[in-house]
Amino acid sequence: MPTDSELELEEDTQKGKYLTFSLGSEDYGLEIRFVTEIIKLQPITEIPEMPDYIKGIINLRGKIIPLMDVRLRFKKTEITYNDRTCVIVIDIDEVTIGLIVDSVSEVLSIPDEEIVLPPDLKKDSNRYISGIGKVGGDVKLLIDGMKLLSDDDALLVEKMGERG
Amino acid sequence: MTNPIDHESMLDMYLFETNQNLEQLEQLILASEKKNTFDRDDINDIFRIMHTIKGSSAMMNYQMISDLAHALEDVFFYFRENSTALIDYESVSDLMFDGIDFMKQEIEKIERKDPPDGEATELLGTIQFFLERLKIPNNEEVSSTLVPAYYSVNLRYQEGCEMENIRAFSVIHNLKEHCSSMIHLPEDLTSDPKAAEIIRQQGFTIHVQTDLSAKELEDLLQQTIYLDQLTIQPETDETTFNRFEDTKPTEVKTSNTSCDVIPQKSQEVNETHQIIAQTYISVNVEKLDKFMDLVGELVIAEAMVSNNPDIVGRDLQNFARASRQLQKITSELQDIAMSIRMVPLEATFKKMHRIVRDMSKKLAKKVDLQIIGETIEVDKNIIDHIADPLMHLVRNAIDHGLETQDERTKKGKTEPATITLEAKNEGSDVLILVRDNGRGLDKEKILQKARHNQLLHKPEEDYTEREIFNLILLPGFSTNEQVTEFSGRGVGMDVVSKNIESVGGAVVVDSVYEVGTTITLKMPLTLAIIDGMNIRVGRSIYTIPTTAIKESFRPSPKQIVNDPDGNEMVMVRGNCYAILRLHQLFKAKADATTFDQGIFLMVEYEGEVFCLFADELLGKQQIVVKSLPNYIKKIRSIHYLAGCTLLGDGSISLILNLAAISQKGGR
């Protein structure tokens, strides 16, 4: 069991590091401390009555984890999966989930001063983005992991289901 | 103790041990109470347990528990020393139970991380008063019957226990109150720096004159911590004792070499203790679950290797031999892993003794508890789920089920009021029966009550006897007019049935008026493994417990009936069953959309028979049940699914929850 100071140390080395991946033409970044591993897409078992962005469940070495298509979560168009399609397995608040993304790029250090808050365009549009990171000439959209998993959307789906 | 993690693990250990000790203690006292005597072994055991609790609680700084244990230890110490004492067993048991209850409460508080702030001062006073009263009439008698005797004692500590001199000093301190005179070697224990060294080499020698018998002395000294070897030799007369005073050093050697019957016996005792300690180890359940998972994966991995497409169809003799061996070992390993989780019902059943005792005392009903089939083993999870319901049922049975003694006599019931707890196997289920020979259920009263509470859904005359009895399982139903301390709060039976249903079991009530009531809990043997039939619908694979399947068939078009509401039904041997298309239920794409393409499965759940329509049957398999990921459950609880499982090829199948589906299908 690591002591507090070890945990702090670990957090320190992971601070400011982001795993970047792409969805279509945009690049996204996800805090590295959430990421456990990156795997190839496996055969998915569909679960009935799930919102479209929950693709189903997979068997990750005996552990059963759900898969979320981040494209659909962000209300982008669906594409057929190909060789470059990856699953980023993340662990947030004891919830393990796999994120299906177009492709994984690299791990980048983005210092806090290079991150700006997203513009407040519409009230709802930036729900999943916690900041915008500037790396060289590129822009990475930094994802708020917690919000990605928060189930307000799901509740909505449920309500709609009840009505229908 | 300063390190928080260390303290945590010590606390865990303390809680675990103390809980175990308290449970053992309770059993011991219950057994003794039944026999109406404390025999020597019992007293020693109780004494030892109190001693352990006292010590460990003091170490953990739980002063109240420690004090209480100390007081109770004193009581039993007195019994041990005065075997002739007239003991009022009932009040001793009551005192002990009060003590145990207090300690249990405190332990619970500690488990919840609350400060153990209970006050036992009153109880302590009662115990002290009790002990004082015991001592008065007996003292003279005892001391007159015993003649002081002389012994030479040699103690050896386990290697590396350190501070031997201090330990020896505490032995002397303990002995002092029982001995009229005493000489020990080395003489100076506290200030002589060599004392510890001498004890390490030659042992610690004590010559005592005491009222205690050799056995009592041995028992007393066996309490010593880190004791390795104990030699007690009776000295024939006082002169030898005096002689030793002059020739101390030589005596040390002689008593070292002397070996008697007594030390051999003490060795034996030590050995049996060790064997008990080695037979069981406690394992963190989390680790066990992890182990189960890994074994499950191993089985799948083994199948993946043995049935690897690269080798299928090839003649590989050596490989086949090796893989057969691997298969054998993995399946053996799987069996063992499954059996690890299996726990006998004994402990759960035995806990009921205490409830029966307390209840029968308070309600002044004399009740016998009979236990049958307690050796049957069930999954640990299930034990956890039945403990509370069982307690409820036993309480209910005593409170409502059994009549008072007067009533029984009036009715001419001669046999004693009895509660029977019985466990038996039936197929892949285990049945747990709680039976009483009391007044039985009154159908009229139940119906009346149900009518009053508006629990009836169909005309009264349509209810079968069993259906009427099972009305008492509904929420908000309590037949007793008076709310008592133990039951009748209107919750209870419905909670019981809900708890049992949550682990896939069922509750059945049977009763004969004026003869008795039997409540049967039907539980699956294990939650972990079921025999399942895999079926395919479109691209998804579903699993149905094999026990629920009555038959599979493909009907001729003539058998299919459509009613005007669009419900589909099938006629089989003159009976009409509802058809449930799985692909419609799960809004999934199926290959078979017309009934001549797919297959029908007739399933039964709780007497409800209906037909499921699927694409094809894939085969039977023993499956390990896993729950769906929490994230999925949080997004939407899918009632039709009971969980999921891994198939031989590593893919996942979804287990159907027939309880939920039957509600849709049965209608």
Residue found by looking up tokens 């981040």 in the block: A70
Nearest by Cα to A88 from A148, A7, A8: A148
| Chain B residues in contact with chain A using a Cβ-Cβ cutoff of 8 Å | 5, 293-294, 296-297, 300, 539-541, 585-588, 626, 628-632, 634-636, 638, 640-641, 644, 646, 650-654
Which tops the pLDDT comparison, B543 or A11? B543
% residues pLDDT > 90 (chain B): 1
Q: Is A14 exposed, middle or buried (CB count within 10 Å of its CB: 0-12, 13-18, 19+)? A: middle
Q: A149-158, B270-279, B373-382, B638-647: which range is least confident on average?
A: B270-279
For residue A100, name the pLDDT band (cuts at 50, 70, 90).
Answer: very high
The CATH code of the domain that includes B390 is: 3.30.565.10
For position B11, what pLDDT does the model report? 79
Which DSSP symbol is given to B527? Answer: S
Nearest by Cα to B25 from B100, B79, B83: B100
- Summarize the confidence of residues B375-400 as an average pLDDT: 82
pLDDT at A98 over 90: yes
**Dihedral angle computed from the Cα positions of residues B415, B420, B425 and B427, in that order, rounded to the nearest 10 degrees:** 80
B326 and B365 fall within a common domain = no
pLDDT at B422 over 80: yes
For position B476, what pLDDT does the model report? 67
For position B496, what pLDDT does the model report? 80
B543 and B492 fall within a common domain = no
B76 and B214 fall within a common domain = no
For position B134, what pLDDT does the model report? 73
pLDDT at B148 over 70: no
* Per-domain residue ranges of chain A: 4-148
Contacts of residue A95 in chain B, CB cutoff 8 Å? 629-631
For position A11, what pLDDT does the model report? 60
Rounded Cα distance, A47 and A44, in Å: 9
**Per residue in B454-483, pLDDT tens?**
777 777 777 888 788 888 877 767 655 444
- Summarize the confidence of residues B380-385 as an average pLDDT: 79
B155 and B93 fall within a common domain = no
Q: Which of A59, A158, A161 sits opposite B651 (nearest CB)?
A: A59
Q: A45-49, A151-155, B56-60, B365-369: which range is least confident on average?
A: A151-155
B306 and B395 fall within a common domain = no
Contact A48 B646 (CB under 8 A): no
Phi, psi at B45, each rounded to 5° = -65, -50
Tokens of B630: 């929490």
B388 and B511 fall within a common domain = yes
Tokens of A134: 């500037």
For residue B648, name the pLDDT band (cuts at 50, 70, 90).
Answer: low
Mutation pick from A3, A41, A42, A46 vs chain B, by most beta carbons of B within 10 Å, is: A46
Rounded Cα distance, B645 and B431, in Å: 26
B235 and B313 fall within a common domain = no
Rounded Cα distance, B612 and B581, in Å: 6
Which tops the pLDDT comparison, A162 or A137? A137
Q: Are A27 and A139 in contact (CB under 8 A)?
A: yes
Q: Which residue of A has its CA nearest to B582?
A: A48
For residue B35, name the pLDDT band (cuts at 50, 70, 90).
Answer: confident
For position A101, what pLDDT does the model report? 92
The b/e string for B115-153 (b: 16+ C-beta within 10 A; e otherwise) is: ebeeebeebbebbeebbeebeeeeeeeeeeeeeebbbbb
- Summarize the confidence of residues B363-383 as an average pLDDT: 83
Classified as helix, coil or strand, B659 is helix
For residue B104, name the pLDDT band (cuts at 50, 70, 90).
Answer: confident
For residue A68, name the pLDDT band (cuts at 50, 70, 90).
Answer: very high
B165 and B27 fall within a common domain = no
For residue A122, name the pLDDT band (cuts at 50, 70, 90).
Answer: low
Which tops the pLDDT comparison, B173 or B612? B612
pLDDT at B377 over 70: yes
For position A97, what pLDDT does the model report? 92
Point out the domain boundary residue: B141, B160, B190: B141
Q: What is the DSSP secondary-structure string of chain A?
A: ---HHHHHHHHHHHTTEEEEEEETTEEEEEEGGGEEEEEE--PPBP-TT--TTEEEEEEETTEEEEEEEHHHHTTPPP----TT-EEEEEEETTEEEEEEESEEEEEEE--GGGEEPPP--STTTTTTEEEEEEETTEEEEEE-HHHHH--HHHHHHHHHHHH-
Contacts of residue A47 in chain B, CB cutoff 8 Å? 628, 632, 638, 641, 654
- Summarize the confidence of residues B598-618 as an average pLDDT: 86
**Per residue in B68-100, pLDDT tens?**
888 888 887 777 777 655 666 777 788 888 888
pLDDT at B488 over 50: no
Which tops the pLDDT comparison, B290 or B220? B290
Q: What is the residue range of B270's domain?
A: 149-279
Rounded Cα distance, B43 and B568, in Å: 72
% residues pLDDT > 70 (chain B): 80
Q: What is the DSSP secondary-structure string of B264-320?
A: HHHHHHHHHHHHHHHH-----HHHHHHHHHHHHHHHHHHHHHHT-TTTTT---HHHH
Rounded Cα distance, A45 and B654, in Å: 9
- Summarize the confidence of residues B301-327 as an average pLDDT: 82
B260 and B315 fall within a common domain = no
Mutation pick from A39, A54, A57, A99 vs chain B, by most beta carbons of B within 10 Å, is: A57
Q: How far is CA B201 from the centre of its chain?
A: 46
Q: Is B238 left (phi over 0), alpha (psi -120 to 50) or beta?
A: alpha
Rounded Cα distance, B611 and B661, in Å: 11
- DSSP strands (E only) in B330-374: 342-344, 368-372
B363 and B512 fall within a common domain = yes
The CATH code of the domain that includes B238 is: 3.30.70.1110
Classified as helix, coil or strand, B85 is coil
Q: Are B78 and B43 in contact (CB under 8 A)?
A: no
Mutation pick from B9, B302, B537, B636 vs chain A, by most beta carbons of A within 10 Å, is: B636
Tokens of B162: 């350190």
**Per residue in B584-593, pLDDT tens?**
888 877 777 7
Query: Pairing state of beta strands B652-656 and B540-545?
Result: parallel
For position A88, what pLDDT does the model report? 94
pLDDT at B141 over 60: no
Largest CA distance in chain A: 53
Rounded Cα distance, B109 and B103, in Å: 10
For position B161, what pLDDT does the model report? 66
Mutation pick from B304, B632, B633 vs chain A, by most beta carbons of A within 10 Å, is: B632
Q: What is the DSSP secondary-structure string of B578-604?
A: EEEEHHHHTT---S--STTTSEEEEEE
Point out the domain boundary residue: B107, B125, B141: B141
Rounded Cα distance, B429 and B543, in Å: 19
Nearest by Cα to B233 from B143, B145, B146, B155: B155
Which tops the pLDDT comparison, A135 or A123? A135
Query: Pairing state of beta strands A138-143 and B599-605?
Result: unpaired
For residue B490, name the pLDDT band (cuts at 50, 70, 90).
Answer: very low
Which 40-99 residues of chain A touch chain B by CB within 8 A?
Answer: 43, 45-51, 54, 57-59, 61-66, 95-97
> How far apart are the CA of B70 and the nearest CA of chain A, in angstroms?
37
State the total domains in chain B.
5
- Other Cβ atoms less than 10 A from the Cβ of B547: the count is 17
Q: What is the DSSP secondary-structure string of B175-216?
A: HHTTEEEEEEESS--SS-TTHHHHHHHH-EEEEEEESS-HHH
C-alpha distances (whole Å) from A44 to each of A3, A60, B445, B643 are 38, 11, 55, 16
Kind and range of the H or E run holding B67: helix B63-81
Q: Which of B540, B585, B635 sits opposite A50 (nearest CB)?
A: B635
> How far apart are the CA of A110 and the nearest CA of chain B, in angstroms?
30
pLDDT at B432 over 80: yes
For position B565, what pLDDT does the model report? 81
Contact A48 B588 (CB under 8 A): yes
B422 and B449 fall within a common domain = yes
Rounded Cα distance, A23 and A32, in Å: 18
Mean pLDDT of chain A, nearest integer:
80
Domain A4-148 in CATH 1.10.580.10? The answer is: no
Contact A46 B651 (CB under 8 A): no
For position B279, what pLDDT does the model report? 64
Contacts of residue B539 in chain A, CB cutoff 8 Å? 46
- Other Cβ atoms less than 10 A from the Cβ of B571: the count is 14
Contacts of residue B632 in chain A, CB cutoff 8 Å? 47, 50, 54, 57, 66
For position A3, what pLDDT does the model report? 56
B252 and B304 fall within a common domain = no
Rounded Cα distance, B405 and B419, in Å: 14
Identify which of A64-68, B388-392, B521-525, B583-587 has the greatest average pLDDT.
A64-68
Rounded Cα distance, B136 and B516, in Å: 49
**Per residue in B239-284, pLDDT tens?**
544 544 444 444 433 344 344 444 444 444 444 444 444 466 777 8
A37 beta partners: A89
Contact A59 B650 (CB under 8 A): yes
| Edge-first strand listing for the sheet containing B608-614 | B549-553, B599-605, B608-614, B575-581, B568-572, B560-562
Contact A62 B294 (CB under 8 A): yes
Which DSSP symbol is given to B39? Answer: -
For position A114, what pLDDT does the model report? 86
Q: Are A117 and A110 in contact (CB under 8 A)?
A: no
Mean pLDDT of chain B, nearest integer:
76
For position A125, what pLDDT does the model report? 54
For residue A8, name the pLDDT band (cuts at 50, 70, 90).
Answer: low
Kind and range of the H or E run holding B33: helix B4-35
Q: Which of A51, A61, A64 sits opposite B629 (nearest CB)?
A: A64
Q: Which of A3, A43, A49 sits opposite B651 (nearest CB)?
A: A43
Which 93-152 residues of chain A touch chain B by CB within 8 A?
Answer: 95-97, 149, 151
Rounded Cα distance, B327 and B325, in Å: 5
Q: Which residues contact A56 (CB under 8 A, 6 or more apart)?
A: A44, A45, A46, A47, A50, A66, A67
Q: Are B647 and B621 in contact (CB under 8 A)?
A: yes
- Other Cβ atoms less than 10 A from the Cβ of B172: the count is 15
Point out the domain boundary residue: B506, B524, B542: B524
Identify which of B31-35, B271-275, B353-357, B620-624 has the greatest average pLDDT.
B353-357
Contacts of residue A161 in chain B, CB cutoff 8 Å? 636
**Number of residues assigned to chain B:** 667
